[in-house]
Amino acid sequence: MGGTSLARRVYLWTAWLFLAAVVVQVFFIGLQLFAGAQKELHMGFGYLVLLLSLVVVIAAFVAGLPSRSKRWAGALFGVTLLQVFLAGLAYSGPNPVAALHPVNALLVFWVTLTVLRDAQDQVRTSTTSGDDGTEPATASAR
Amino acid sequence: MGSPSRQVFFWSTWAFVASVVLQVFFIGLYLFAGYDIGLHFLGALIVTLVSLVVLGMAFVARADGRTKRWAGALFVLTIIQGSLPGLKGSLPLASALHPVGALVLFGVGLLLVRDAKELARMPLAASEAGSAPAESPSA
């Protein structure tokens, strides 16, 4: 497996990992609201999700993805950072703007699905074109 | 351009996605801004009604089997979503899936938007040839 193909697979795996983290994070708020779990579970894990979004961005650059893919990875980090900001508003007192915290979770989810679909396309492109990060094969004289 | 029924189906799927976003905003208003939870309960009714419209329109628009199944799943998932908070006392872990259910509904809603968009682009005759039984050729 070529270097580029492997890097793209790693990118795909980080995207899947991020999606799983988002689902777990949403479940943690469910545990807080419906099962009496501590709020620190959701709050603490939120920082891990933010860190993971940064890993996705780094993976996009390491994999040498097209600009469009890097922009989507950057957008993922951006909306995740926004989510942390809105959480700060949410935990600091009644605030209608803080009501956007759960709405932004839907946006994070949608951007994650977009990044994931793009990552799958990038892996497919690298495997079907035989791209292994080396120079293109020269046409052999017959 | 597709048939009117397919255009309505397409817009109904968008209406569902919008209703989910609104419903999530309503719970945000309750949790973080002190609004009445009655807004969220009203939103639940709207989401359920819209999911039923989506299901009905999937049939009226003569969507393919796969799309109809997803529309059916959407309606069922919406009913389940509405039931989960009621389990708080008896099955709190199941009840805790309520916010996750919102993600699922949002995701399935977006999937149906994509399917409905494709369907709305197709001329009715061309898609009918694929889904309806073949008619006997006229002389």
Q: Which of A27, A37, A94 has the CB atom closest to B32's CB atom? A: A94
**B31 neighbourhood in chain A, CB within 8 Å:** 90, 99, 102
pLDDT of A38: 95
Rounded to two decimals, the pTM is 0.88
Alpha helices (runs of H) in A36-99, residue ranges in sequence order: 39-62, 67-90
User: What sign has the CA pseudo-torsion B1, B2, B3, B4?
Assistant: negative
H helix runs in A1-38, sequence order: 3-35
CA distances from B36 to B8, B26, B41, B130 (A): 33, 9, 10, 50
Q: How far is CA A30 from CA A12, A38, B37, B88, in A?
A: 27, 11, 16, 10
Q: Which chain A residue lies closest to B106 (C-alpha atoms)?
A: A106
Express each pLDDT in B1-46 by its tens digit: 568 999 999 999 999 999 999 999 999 999 999 999 999 999 999 9
Q: Average pLDDT of A26-44?
A: 96
Q: pLDDT by residue (tens digit) across A61-112?
A: 999 999 999 999 999 999 999 999 999 998 888 999 999 999 999 999 999 9
The whole-angstrom distance between B92's CA and the closest CA on chain A is: 5
Q: What is the mean pLDDT of residues B54-65?
A: 97
Report CB contact under 8 Å: A34, B24: no
Q: Is the pLDDT of residue A132 over 90?
A: no
Question: At B127, is the pLDDT very low, low, confident or very high (cuts 50, 70, 90)?
Answer: low
